[in-house]
Amino acid sequence: MSALFPRWTNTFARVAAVSAVGVPVVALSAVMLLQRTPYVTNQHVELVQPIQFDHRHHNWEEGIDCRFCHAQVETSATAGIPATSLCMGCHAQVFNKSPRLEPLRQAYFSKTPVAWKRVHDLPDFVYFNHSIHVRKGVGCVTCHGRVDRMPMVYQAEPLTMQWCVDCHRAPQQHLRPLDAVTDMQWQAPVSAAQRAELGQRLAQANDVHPRTACDTCHR
């Protein structure tokens, strides 16, 4: 008596069973990996702004502190974008006829804001407070990179949840003296032991106890 099903159906059944489990796992893994690539995180992507603002000139060459333009960074959840009046406070005298600054002059005299493109843009479901990080000794460089060396500002770090959680679990390695928070050239001790000792001391002095519960950022 012949078999009810041909022998090849055994192989087909095995392949189908493996595929039923494997395909969803592979698809889910692919999605999770994609979320961590610059294609999604926008890491290292340079955005063309309406005005060519060069942080190298303002911060590196002229020594303008970050807080001069981002005045709310120590007191507010957002760092703040400088008003056109602040920019014109300098550029009414400096480069006041430069064609590159024509959009600034138009915005100032028409009393409309410059349409800057946001570089560091967290999802709407993520809460982030600049002031608490700055007041605890997390330097601008930690999240924003060496902005003073960027002709066009880009997102230096992935800003993924894993990246944030890793810092919250071990913040000591990212801490610096409060008077060096905006100092782009500040260097931590080269020795790992000295760096760990400094981090522990700063964490204790500034009462650094970051939370890792979900409602810390997802409110």
Q: Is residue 72 located within the same domain as residue 97? A: no
Does 174 fall in a domain?
A: yes
**12 found inside a domain:** no
Residue-wise pLDDT for 25-76, tens only, equals: 666 665 556 566 676 788 999 999 999 899 999 999 999 999 999 999 999 9
- Exposed / middle / buried, residue 209 (Cβ in 10 Å: 0-12, 13-18, 19+): exposed
Question: Same domain, yes or no, for 173 and 210?
Answer: yes
Residue 34 lies in a domain: no
96 with 182, same domain: the answer is no
Examine the domain organization and report whether 110 and 124 are in the same domain: no
Q: How many domains, in total, are found in the chain?
A: 2
pLDDT in tens, 104-144: 999 999 999 999 999 999 999 999 999 999 999 999 999 99
In a domain, 59, yes or no: yes
List C-alpha distances in Å: 36 to 100, 108, 127, 212: 36, 39, 19, 20
| pLDDT at 85 (0 to 100) | 95
- Segments forming the whole domain that contains residue 89: 82-115
Domain boundary among 115, 137, 163: 115
* 64 domain-assigned: yes
Which residue, 96, 115, 134, sits at the end of a domain? 115
Same domain, 53 and 89: no
Confidence of residue 103 (pLDDT cuts 50, 70, 90): very high
| pLDDT tens-digit map of 105-116 | 999 999 999 999
Q: Roughly how many angstroms between the first and final C-alpha of the chain, as a whole number?
A: 68
